[in-house]
Amino acid sequence: MISDNIDKAVEILNNNDLVAIPTETVYGLAGNIYCEEAVSKIFEIKNRPFFNPLIVHIHSIKQLDELTNYIPPKAQLLADAFWPGALTLVLKKNSKVPNIITAGKDTVAIRMPNHPTTLALLEQLNFPLAAPSANPFGCISPTKAIHVEEYFGNSLQMVLEGGDCKNGIESTIIGFESDMPVLYRLGAISIEDIEKAIGTVKIINTRENIAPDAPGMLEKHYAPLTSTYLESDIEAAIKSFSNKKIGLLLLSKKINNPQIVHQEILTEHGDLQEAATNLYAALHVLDKLNLDVIIAERLPDIGLGKSINDRLERATKK
């Protein structure tokens, strides 16, 4: 059921059950981090493998002390600069953080989301919330309450309504090696903005170093059911699919071609933030049209364009 009743959400979470929560990135499937029953249910409903660690959501920077005994200086700078916001920090966990949250790792991923409803909810709880994206494992992420309802309607007591997700793609994830920042996942805050705040960040090639314990880095992820391709030359790609029903996901300009059944434009004015906001909703629309193929346009490889290309590359992996 979709509802904006925060008190009801508090009650369900206190009863060790799950609530889908709005955030500025995507909707999350949330449960009490200290309750094994609730956390197991997150994995079960999503069909998420247990080796895939969860992000812990808190309502204040101070609450970090509940989860870790050590904050690297650059992690503190990042929290001060970007929280509440779409940045996840991976820090050494303390002994209170259950191993099921971290997939047995000695680090925990933490974020303070920038959404008034979810911050108000977190303030009323005596525990942080573990919340991966509220979609079946590997599928397109949800950016509207209705996406979550369509995925999990019967098996979920409540989707807390918070409107459309403003940032629209998952958080950027930064970890630390001997106090030095390392990018684990491209995301809603551009690497350029992060480097403005703390200087150079080590960027591991996320597609070549695919770590099985970092599924945000899994090769195939965020994927429509329809066969999807990422292309720079859209006209050439259309020619290669003659006699097929084609849908297009384009940055800003429509294409005039009778073979195209439907076109989704991400941003009329070439604004990459707007493109990120609209990305998953556009993929949801295209995936429901019974197309033979979706052709997505590769975006400029700067700022959020990099993060969107990263998601599209995983969405189109065969």
Chain residues that interact with Mg ion, rule: CB under 5 A:
133
How many residues form the binding site for ligand AMP (CB under 6 A)? 20
What does 215 bind: Mg ion, ligand AMP, none (CB cut-off 5 to 8 Å by kind)?
ligand AMP
Task: Compute how many other C-beta atoms are within 10 angstroms of the C-beta atom of residue 118.
Answer: 28
Q: Which C-beta is closer to ligand AMP: that of 142 or that of 216? A: 216
What does 185 bind: ligand AMP, Mg ion, none (CB cut-off 5 to 8 Å by kind)?
ligand AMP
The beta-strand segments (E) located in the chain are 2-3, 19-21, 28-32, 55-57, 87-92, 107-111, 129-130, 159-160, 172-177, 180-185, 202-203, 227-231, 246-250, 260-265, 293-297
Round to whole Å and give the CA distance between 216 and 173.
9
Q: Which C-beta is closer to ligand AMP: that of 181 or that of 247? A: 181
Q: How far is the CB of 233 from ligand AMP (least distance, A)?
A: 31
Contact positions with ligand AMP (CB under 6 A) in 160-199:
170, 173, 175, 184-185
- Tokens 């971290």 -> residue: 102
Ranges of H-type helices in the chain: 6-14, 36-46, 73-82, 99-102, 116-123, 145-152, 191-198, 234-240, 272-287, 304-316
Q: Which stretch binds ligand AMP (CB under 6 A): 156-164, 213-221, 229-237, 258-266?
A: 213-221
Site string for ligand AMP, 82-121 (x = CB under 6 A): --------x-----------x--x-xxx------------
Q: How far is the CB of 250 from Mg ion (least distance, A)?
A: 25
The answer to whether residues 28 and 18 touch, using CB atoms and an 8 Å cutoff, is no
Q: Which C-beta is closer to ligand AMP: that of 222 or that of 229? A: 222
Comparing CA positions, the residue from 82, 71, 146, 61 lying closest to residue 107 is 71
* Contact footprint for ligand AMP (CB under 6 A): 52-53, 55, 90, 102, 105, 107-109, 132-133, 170, 173, 175, 184-185, 214-217
